[in-house]
A and B are shown apart, each in its own frame.
Chain A
């Protein structure tokens, strides 16, 4: 499976948010999208997930424009894990995961849907929470529920919008380990927006660094995360140490 984003631009009224963004990815890859707040990461994700469809340029999956896919086909191809996992009405964790089967369900969940949701819950270590009210579990656990829901969706591409932003260090690491495991075991392309450069450096295959709606650098963590690029993008004084090939960023 190949995803290609070709010269995509998007604007909200007069505010140009994305300017000729291009990227590509293949199954099994974990791509990190980094950049300051308001740089267009979430807008890019919304364009790829066709939540926003008034963009210019082309977004293709295996050569086919996503605009030519039905809503259901697209939902079977791309799963989206939002940054905000708050819920209005409390449902059980198991049922929340089952909702990932929505593109496949006609009237109600089948035995197979229940089985797939159960496997997704087990993969994310949620068996013991399965019948707990989703409003009563922690933010980190809820994040895992939404990732499990995305797994149950059986997508080819999984997009995660800052899944580690509200988590403590332990959950940040475990979430990123899970993301890697999902990409490898399920052979899906994972695109993940994040702010922690060191986490991105440790857990992603490629990093795209964005600033003001433009991708300014694209490559392996070692290629992208150097002092000059980071200082240009974030306007901060940092240093970079290398642990083998993995760059580690520290504040000067």
Chain B
């Protein structure tokens, strides 16, 4: 038994390594694709010219700039955002023992959309310095909503069902408030609001990508350290988990707020990108099972892959028009999700 388990684990680590290589390859392929296609050799030349300047000169300045200034920050941010949202979904599902929960269930996305809409209503635009004001508005509202939902639902022996119900109620409330703004706002600002709520990486910057990468790295370390706790919390009722020596309420609040913070940071920079928080964890669960030591890194991979594919598809399918990733991800994610629900593989998340 013990030997077989260790052999299984070894195989899972090998599979994860292979997945990371696959993701890297797909990122390079994605770098080649877009309204102006760049051959793979030129893309590699541009990458190596920056990494090993002494050995590889810049051959084509335009391609070099497209790769380093436009596509790489965008692709890097897309993968990090997808990975972060998927990991947040995985942890949130474990904390609530509910496979249909994602960070958005607690009302974050609608709160963020309201915050961004409010900032636009008050004069911010999607360009220049006011973009920071929109991100700040989205972030503040998302965090306030999540904290409100957490603390209200935890009053007097709160339950996960209560958390989901209050989250759902807040989702509708913020949705109504956003709709109100959209109803009264002028056409120009309405266009900005809608563009933000679609979710997009078109304004990705290297500093955003690096910040989110650092944040995701720290959060992943915390989650991996708590992977055993998450296994226990997802496997049985709170009463049983308490008898294993785990402070359930404390862990739920701390880990829950970390997922909220990560999600709020991502959507404040990239807009509302739904679905990956639900689909990513389930794809990972099918690949590796429900053990969080593997599930967390695998769900980072599946989330990153899903958003990378969606964003790349959005850039090339209707070129030169770029479809926002928030729209494309639903076209890619819904068939996968339906397949999971209708196939026997749903047993993995029963």
Contact = CB atoms under 8 A, between A and B. Distances in A.
A9 interface: no
Given A75-B244, A88-B98, A136-B347, A105 B228 contact: yes
Contacts of B6: 114
A130 interface: yes
A251 interface: no
Interface stretch (A90-98, A178-186, A241-249): A90-98
A155 to B, nearest CB: 9
A90 B348 contact: yes
Interface string B80-99: 00000000000001100111
Interface in A78-127: 78-80, 82, 84, 87-92, 94-96, 99-100, 102-103, 105, 107-109, 111, 114-115, 118, 121, 127
Interface residues of B, number: 38
Contact of B5 (A46, A50, A75, A94): A94
B349 interface: yes
Interface in B219-242: 225, 227-229, 231-232, 234-237, 239-240, 242
B62 interface: no
Interface string A209-239: 0000000000000000000000000000000
Contact of B234 (A88, A108, A153): A88
B244 A89 contact: no
Contact of A118 (B1, B244, B285, B290): B1
Given A80-B243, A99-B244, A103-B244, A89 B237 contact: no
A50 B237 CA distance: 15
B246 A94 contact: no
A88 B245 contact: no
Interface in A56-88: 71-72, 74-76, 78-80, 82, 84, 87-88
A102 B244 CA distance: 6
Contact of B347 (A95, A96, A133): A133
A14 to B, nearest CB: 15
A51 B2 CA distance: 32
B94 A89 contact: yes
A131 interface: yes
A61 to B, nearest CB: 14
Contact of A107 (B2, B99, B225, B348): B225
Interface string B279-323: 000000100011101000000000000000000000000000000
B1 A76 contact: no
A87 B237 CA distance: 8
Contact of B2 (A46, A80, A95, A114): A114
B231 A91 contact: yes
Contact of A51 (B5, B239, B348): B239
B155 interface: no
A89 B93 CA distance: 9
Of B234, B239, B244, B349, most A-chain CB atoms within 10 Å: B244
The list of the 7 closest CB pairs from A to B, nearest first, reads: A75-B245, A80-B243, A88-B97, A102-B244, A103-B245, A89-B290, A72-B245
Interface of A: 46, 49-51, 71-72, 74-76, 78-80, 82, 84, 87-92, 94-96, 99-100, 102-103, 105, 107-109, 111, 114-115, 118, 121, 127, 130-131, 133, 135-136, 153
Given A80-B243, A89-B235, 12 more contacts: A49-B239, A50-B242, A74-B243, A80-B240, A90-B289, A92-B291, A95-B291, A99-B232, A99-B244, A102-B245, A108-B293, A114-B5
Interface of B: 1-2, 4-6, 8, 93-94, 97-99, 225, 227-229, 231-232, 234-237, 239-240, 242-247, 285, 289-291, 293, 347-350
25 contacts: A49-B239, A51-B239, A71-B245, A71-B247, A74-B245, A84-B237, A87-B350, A88-B99, A89-B97, A89-B348, A90-B290, A90-B349, A94-B1, A95-B231, A102-B229, A102-B244, A102-B245, A105-B228, A107-B225, A109-B228, A114-B2, A114-B5, A127-B1, A133-B348, A136-B347
